[in-house]
Amino acid sequence: MAEIEKEPDEYTRLLKYIDYEAQRAKRGGDEGGDEDEEKEWRRVWYAPWKKVAVEEEGKRKVPPRWLETDMLQGLPDDEITNRRNRFGYNELESPRENPILKFLGYFKGPVLYVMELAVILAAGLRDWIDFGVIIGILALNAFVGWYQEKQAGDIVEQLKAGIAMKATVVRNGEEQVIEAREIVPGDIVVVEEGQTVPADGKILAAYDDKDRSRAKSILDKREASTGNSRSQSQDRDSGETARDEKKRGEEEGEEGEDKKEDKGPSVFSCDQSAITGESLAVDKYIGDTIYYTTGGKRGKVYMVVTETAKQSFVGRTASLVTGANDQGHFQKVMNSIGTTLLVLHVLISTPADNNLLVYSLVLLIIGVPVGLPCVTTTTLAVGAAFLARRKAIVQKLTAIESLAGVDILCTDKTGTLTANQLSVHEPWAAEGVDLNWMLAAAVLASSHNIKALDPIDKVTVVTLKDYPKAREMLQGGWTTHSFKPFDPVSKRITAEVEKEGKRWTVAKGAPNAILKLANASQELQESYRQRTQEFAKRGFRTLGVACQEQGGEWQILGLLPMFDPPRSDTAQTIAEAGNLGVRVKMLTGDAVAIAIETCKQLALGTNVYDSQRLMTGGMSGSDVHDFVESADGFAEVAPEHKYQVVEMLQNRGHLTAMTGDGVNDAPSLKKADCGIAVEGASDAARSAADVVFLDEGLSTIITSIKVARQIFHRMKAYIVYRIALCLHLEIYLTLSMIILNETIRADLIVFIALFADLGTIAIAYDNAPHARAPVEWQLPKIWIISTILGILLAGATWILRGTLFLSSGGVIQNWGSVQEILFLEVALTENWLIFVTRGAGTWPSWQLVAAIGAIDILASIFALFGWLAGSQPHNGHTDIVTVVRVWAFSFGVTVVLALVYFILNSIPWLDNIGRQKRGVKDAKHEDFISNLRRVTLVHERGGNGHEDVFRFQPE
């Protein structure tokens, strides 16, 4: 039908309409017409005569007839299933991977491809033992990585299930409380103050006014006054955002007060700050759209769901920032290490004799750290599960590595640094006014709906617990005749109350607005203003209180200074962040004075500035970067300011973490090296963030940084260890092939590789210390230390091999297998190396000691019984004395390695090599980017056949 309406010629439209109606008649009239009209069709490749419906996810339109649900009856059960099958559950889902494809993904990567090539080579040589063991290593790597990640994911899902949103819907004529994810388009939902709107929807009527005909009459009048039919209103493009609606409302408001009357009374108000940035609640009328994740502030209404989460405005915004799947920094490091080892392997694996294939197989096995993906994934997954139990959900494992290196944390104030609980601080009463009466009047001018009190009303009421006389004044006899909530025009709350036949009008609100009500003396005005300024300088949010008795003169009663106090643990937490090398920058929407007062109480720097200086300060690009880098925080920030601050800090080389909770924070959370959605964050913010906190406050962030650095320490210890192992065998075996034309049997080499990876999987559970400064990979340092350790290991193996040329037989003493002795020495020295690279400061965990011990015992049994030794004297058996000597020799080698490792880490120039330069200034680049942003591309449409013109124009 939509295509027919696009035809410019009316006769063509008429002819196509006749064909359209004929086709509908063949399909059975109107049945399913609306739904069929929305669908596109394609022929399937396996059956060209068959057509299937094609609907692009996120662009499905709800048929208009679905929204004509009876307000008091709701949807029947059979209709709900049909609608859910088409639109899915009402939730912002992360893309779910096919478990089979996910498992197969653990066989991909440059390191694993070489091991798969080794499998093919072993099969070609008919070396079925190696073939089976290598396949076992690959399968073990995949299974452990998959299982550990799944285990962490299960913990995350359990925690998410515990915070599922609930909603009240009308179904089968009854109100039911269900999980919000069960909602479908066309559902009738009851939304009231204090609740979160569970989907995009249109207001049908106030809850107390169940006469739908009256609500329909108001809606019809409103649409008639704007020149729109009801059908046009229903078919309004769902792409209209909250900002568009606000702009449209402002344009309508300019046409006069008559327009407002056509809307009828405001039946609901909601907080749209997470979407539009508006700090004040927005009034909503019958027929208005209310948006998913916004919070109800006043009223209770019936709403028909027009769009579920994924198709909602918030859902479309979230999809813009969750679709990217960039390769993380950690993955780049792993690929770099693996590729370097492969190149090194290709360069040295070139012996030119008839043993080429065997040698190639051996070098393929030893030259590739097949366990590298398994161990690192396990370490990250175990750490993620640990953090999840502490209410920090890691949504992307590689974010742990980013968090370990963070050196700047940009955090909001309210609810993170502070308790998000306003408290009244030393109220002031005007001269001659009883302080208790002033407080009682403030409570009378508050909402009395204790189920969903506004934060300011709540703190006003709760304050009376410390003023018993004020509570006595409110006991019995008071009647509220009218209550007017906060009005952004008058900037006050007003209530008309009565007690014992005497009427009072009480008001509280902005100090200046309250002062204008009364004809106060000059002296009182001066005292009132002075107190207000004092409170403002200290960062207090101040409310004035006044009353009017029996319609007489307004009387100023006093001031209520309010402040959101810091959390009890915040100051200590910030101090600990400083000790960890993390600088905290406050980004808050509050005024500069409030931000500075909070900083003083938390021992933060007080260089806090108005965020407008970021946009309109007139500074050059490099100066703005200097300004952002040196500032301790910014006040009155909007979401775009957060994005700008994060970007500038990253330009200076800082690894930046950022906290956020709103829909508009999603881009900056995605931009940050580690985006953190704080407790109570919107679904869009959670979807965009790398880490989601389910607990309040900043202490969880510090815990997460410490744990991340412990995880990083484990991974770095393993990587140094594993590179050294690869170089050890590559150096020794390459030289032995060239000099002696011998090698350790491929069967034993496979078990050396298997033992090295099996034992060190337990590094994921090791007792690692956390660094006192942001960590970095420092790959040049890793390669230098690993290479030296690998050379020393190779030298030790050559020493042992050299003793076997002595007339006495050396270590063997003429009773033992050369193959098994070399196998045991390599296995022991390599296994014990992990105790060296893990460093000092903590004892190794029992899991790591047990794993290494079990493998060492197994390797000794191999040597004693000559398993897989091939054709060797005495069937490859080795006596117990020889095994003990190899253990003693290997222990001596480990001691030498520990001394060398300690010395290498004590060299200052080596400790600083490869460190990322943070805070580096590039004035030319920064000035260029800044100037480029100030240039606007202007499009002028050409006329008289001329082409369109595009030109640059400064802002």
Q: Which residues are catalytic?
A: 412
Measured CA to CA, the distance from residue 371 to residue 761 in angstroms comes to 8
**Residue 771: φ, ψ to 5°:** -65, 150
**How many whole angstroms from its chain centre is CA 798?**
51
CB-side neighbour CA atoms (13 Å) of 257: 0
Question: Looking at the chain, how many residues does it have?
Answer: 955
Interaxial angle between packed helices 356-366 and 110-124, expressed in degrees from 0 to 180 and rounded to the nearest 10: 150
Pairing label, strands 633-635, 608-610:
parallel
Pairing label, strands 282-284, 268-271:
antiparallel
Q: What are the structure tokens assigned to 133, written together? A: 């063991």
Please say whether the beta carbons of 282 and 300 come within 8 A: no
**Residue 943: φ, ψ to 5°:** -125, 165
Strand order of the sheet with strand 174-179? 174-179, 166-171, 188-192, 300-307, 200-206, 289-290
Q: How many CB atoms lie within 10 A of CB 60?
A: 18
| Residue 478: strand pairing partners | 499
- 505-519 burial, b if ≥16 CB within 10 A, otherwise e? bbbbbbbebbbbbbe
Nearest 5 degrees, angle CA 521-CA 526-CA 528? 95
Nearest 5 degrees, angle CA 349-CA 352-CA 358? 60
**Residue 369: φ, ψ to 5°:** -80, 80
Closest by CA to 203, choosing from 345, 308, 305, 135, is 305
**How many whole angstroms from its chain centre is CA 142?**
26
Task: DSSP letter for 279, please.
Answer: S
Please say whether the beta carbons of 164 and 181 come within 8 A: yes
| Structure-token match 């204008």, residue found | 516
Measured CA to CA, the distance from residue 631 to residue 652 in angstroms comes to 14
The enclosing H or E element of 315 equals helix 313-322
Closest by CA to 584, choosing from 685, 705, 708, 709, is 705
Q: Kindly report the three-state secondary structure assignment for every residue of 864-901.
A: HHCCCCCCCHHHHCCCHHHHHHHHHHHHHHHHHHHHHH
Measured CA to CA, the distance from residue 761 to residue 773 in angstroms comes to 26
Determine the straight-line distance between the first and last CA of the chain, rounded to whole angstroms: 44
The enclosing H or E element of 660 equals strand 656-660
